[in-house]
Amino acid sequence: MSMPGFTMNLPGQRARGGNPTAVLIAFVLLGLAGVAVEEGARQDTYVLFWLAGLLALIGVLIPSSLKMANHWERAVVLRLGRLQSISGPGLFMIVPVIDQVVYWLDQRIQTTEFNAEQALSKDTVPVDVDAVVFWQIHDPERAALEITDYRSAIARVAQTSLREMVGSSLLSTLLSDRKHGDELLREEIGRKTADWGVTAISVEIRDIGVPAALQDAMSREAQAQREAAARIHLGQAELAVAQKFVEAADIYAQSPTALQLRAMNIIYETTKERGATILIPSAMVDSMNPGGVLGLAQAALTAQAQPARAEPMIAQPAPRAVARPARKRRRPTD
């Protein structure tokens, strides 16, 4: 059943089936009408026949006059083509033939998925954006009278608003600040649907797709940026080390003893490793005073090698050389 400008089976505005309560009451009244007919035939009185007819008529009209709406539903009732009431939830009565329920509106939170395929961002990058909007009917009367199919209209408005938002935003902004984009979409969609009695509760961008070639370029760019940052950090570390060396050089210049102690510590640390070859610049060796340092190191090694309380060795005098006279050669005789 339909009326000009209204369709009972629109998405989100469905027609209801039979009411079990009304059907049960109708069967009870028809049963009573049958009993009244039997009693009227037995007692031969027309009053019971009239009562049976009235009960049968009421039983036939009950299913079309007694309606029931669930707790989350509202029924739009028209009387002779004009809005009579927004009924529900629970049981309510209408006048058969005169009144008509044209819409059953669901006031629960509902979702609508929408997308923007090959939409150009502000920096002319084609992107595919998928999103979902959560909405709810807050004014059933306006949702029924102001627009033919509010569900389809919400989908169109959401898609248009998404394309406008993508076209006015940079790709980097879309990727890095989705929460801000969700809020902008919610405000824009809510502003357009408020006149229809529909409230946009929230909008969530589920996915942002970019071409594969652009993904490769963005990956290389990110890698180059990370390498540049790593080199900058390395240079900063070198600068910090150089500053510390300058401070250490100032301290060693003010105290040569500290430099010698440091040189001794270096030699001590290097002698721990056996079989290691150490190359030291000559200028550094001269600054370390190697004579004293090596002497101390040799003395320490010698002291470790000799047993405790060793007797001193007595040097023996070298044997004297005895000069011998040279022998004369005899000439051979003729």
Sequence letter at residue 58: I
Is residue 16 very low, low, confident or very high in pLDDT (cuts 50, 70, 90)?
Answer: low
- Measured distance CA(105)–CA(252) in Å, rounded: 88
Cis-peptide, bond into residue 89, ω within 30° of zero: yes
pLDDT value of residue 274? 62
Q: Pull the structure tokens for residue 4.
A: 């000009």
pLDDT value of residue 314? 45
Look at 266 and 128; give whichever has higher pLDDT: 128
3-class DSSP assignment, residue 103:
strand
Q: What is the pLDDT of residues 4-15, one digit of tens each?
A: 333 334 444 554
3-class DSSP assignment, residue 264:
helix
E strands, the chain, in order: 66-69, 73-79, 82-87, 90-93, 99-106, 110-120, 126-137, 198-209
Q: How far is CA 283 from CA 243, 245, 266, 287, in A?
A: 22, 17, 16, 6
All residues at 6 or more sequence positions from 91 whose CB lies less than 8 Å from its CB, including other chains: 21, 66, 67, 68
Span 162-166, average pLDDT = 91
Q: Write the DSSP assignment of 170-228 as a string of letters.
A: -HHHHHH-HHHHHHHHHHHHHHHHGGGTEEEEEEEEEEEE--HHHHHHHHHHHHHHHHH
Look at 145 and 321; give whichever has higher pLDDT: 145
Q: Pull the structure tokens for residue 5.
A: 């400008």
**Residue 93 in this model has a pLDDT that exceeds 80:** yes
- Measured distance CA(55)–CA(240) in Å, rounded: 102
Sequence letter at residue 226: R
Q: What is the pLDDT of residues 180-216, one digit of tens each?
A: 889 999 999 999 999 999 999 999 999 888 877 777 7
Question: Which single residue is written with the structure tokens 């954006």?
Answer: 129
Span 77-87, average pLDDT = 90
C-alpha 195, offset from chain centre: 33
**Residue 124 in this model has a pLDDT that exceeds 50:** yes
3-class DSSP assignment, residue 144:
helix
All residues at 6 or more sequence positions from 96 whose CB lies less than 8 Å from its CB, including other chains: 61, 64, 65
Span 99-115, average pLDDT = 91
pLDDT value of residue 56? 87
- Measured distance CA(129)–CA(118) in Å, rounded: 8
**Residue 262 in this model has a pLDDT that exceeds 70:** yes
Span 110-122, average pLDDT = 89
Span 120-138, average pLDDT = 91
Q: Which of 111, 108, 183, 161 is nearest to 138 (CA)?
A: 108
pLDDT value of residue 11? 43
pLDDT value of residue 304? 59
pLDDT value of residue 299? 59
Q: Which of 328, 260, 315 is nearest to 293 (CA)?
A: 260
Span 303-317, average pLDDT = 50
Q: How far is CA 152 from CA 11, 147, 163, 193, in A?
A: 8, 10, 17, 12
Is residue 21 very low, low, confident or very high in pLDDT (cuts 50, 70, 90)?
Answer: confident
Q: Which of 214, 188, 217, 215 is nearest to 200 (CA)?
A: 188
Q: What is the pLDDT of residues 279-299, one digit of tens each?
A: 666 665 565 555 555 555 565
* Mean pLDDT for all residues in the chain: 79
Mutual angle of helices 212-254 and 256-271, in 10-degree steps: 120
Contact between 204 and 112 under an 8 Å Cβ cutoff? The reply is no
- Measured distance CA(124)–CA(189) in Å, rounded: 24
Contact between 132 and 111 under an 8 Å Cβ cutoff? The reply is yes
